[in-house]
Amino acid sequence: MYPISQAALRAEIIPLLTSGIFDPRQPLPLLDATINESLRLQPSIPSGTERLTPPSGLFLSTPTSSSGTSVYIPGNTVVRIPNYTICRDARYFAEPDAFIPERWTTKKEMVRDGSCFIPFGLGPYACAGKQLGLMKVRAVIAGIIGGFEWRLAEGRGGVDGELLGKDEFSVAFEECWVEFRTI
């Protein structure tokens, strides 16, 4: 959907691939920004993971309140942080529905509250495989970028070309048709 972004990513990765120094363990600015932006727009767990409040309940402070008020959530209540909704909220991200990888590099002002971006979770419930997952994603994207241009097949992208999956704890896509062209 974004040939200009794809070309910029190719320009970052191809020299490393051809010289033999690409290492998926090492972050690359545009590659990692592209991964972050993709995870922001299409989180793997859109509705978030569930947690149960302690039996005594808990108080949450409201950051937008100037009086420092709190909201009480009763005990044994199921709560979740809806990743998809938060990452598309203009309070936290400028132009929240747009694919702009530069928001993670040269346009950092577009990330109004980076604490809202938690694609791998936080604390004791954070994904133990985060670094391995990022390494594999870097390697796969580099391999595809190194040999192909690609795009969603005509008429197969959902609303405005966006993939629309089903939230079944992680996103499930019934089909995803991609056209590859050798470069």
Question: Within this chain, do residues 135 and 158 fall inside the same structural domain, yes or no?
Answer: yes
**Distance from C-alpha of 99 to C-alpha of 117, rounded to nearest angstrom:** 15
Question: Within this chain, do residues 163 and 98 fall inside the same structural domain, yes or no?
Answer: yes
Q: What angle do CA 108, 11, 33 make, to 5 degrees?
A: 25
Question: Within this chain, do residues 135 and 63 fall inside the same structural domain, yes or no?
Answer: no
**Distance from C-alpha of 169 to C-alpha of 167, rounded to nearest angstrom:** 6
- pLDDT per residue as tens digits for the range 31-80: 999 999 999 998 888 888 888 999 999 998 766 556 667 889 999 999 98
Question: Within this chain, do residues 162 and 99 fall inside the same structural domain, yes or no?
Answer: yes
Question: Within this chain, do residues 124 and 163 fall inside the same structural domain, yes or no?
Answer: yes
- pLDDT per residue as tens digits for the range 97-114: 999 999 999 999 999 999
Q: Please name every residue paired with 61 in a beta bridge, in sequence order, or none if there are none.
A: 70
Boundary of a domain, candidates 35, 60, 81: 81
**Distance from C-alpha of 56 to C-alpha of 142, rounded to nearest angstrom:** 49
CATH number at residue 150: 1.10.630.10
Question: Within this chain, do residues 87 and 138 fall inside the same structural domain, yes or no?
Answer: yes
Q: Are 151 and 178 in contact (CB under 8 A)?
A: yes
Question: Within this chain, do residues 94 and 74 fall inside the same structural domain, yes or no?
Answer: no
Question: Within this chain, do residues 133 and 75 fall inside the same structural domain, yes or no?
Answer: no
Q: Are 170 and 45 in contact (CB under 8 A)?
A: yes
Q: How many CB atoms lie within 10 A of CB 129?
A: 11
Could you list the beta-strand ranges (E) of the chain: 50-52, 58-61, 70-73, 78-80, 148-152, 166-168, 170-172, 178-182
Question: Within this chain, do residues 118 and 52 fall inside the same structural domain, yes or no?
Answer: no
* C-alpha Rg value of the chain to the nearest Å: 19
Ramachandran quadrant class, 110 (left: phi over 0; alpha: psi -120 to 50; beta: rest): alpha
Output the pLDDT for position 168.
Answer: 61
Output the pLDDT for position 129.
Answer: 95
- pLDDT per residue as tens digits for the range 4-15: 999 999 999 999
Question: Within this chain, do residues 60 and 21 fall inside the same structural domain, yes or no?
Answer: no
Boundary of a domain, candidates 58, 81, 104: 81
- Structural domain harbouring 153: 3-44+83-182
Q: How many domains does the chain have?
A: 2
Question: Within this chain, do residues 53 and 39 fall inside the same structural domain, yes or no?
Answer: no
Boundary of a domain, candidates 28, 62, 81: 81
| 13-17, 20-24, 66-70, 131-135: the lowest-pLDDT one | 66-70
**Distance from C-alpha of 27 to C-alpha of 31, rounded to nearest angstrom:** 8
Question: Within this chain, do residues 122 and 140 fall inside the same structural domain, yes or no?
Answer: yes
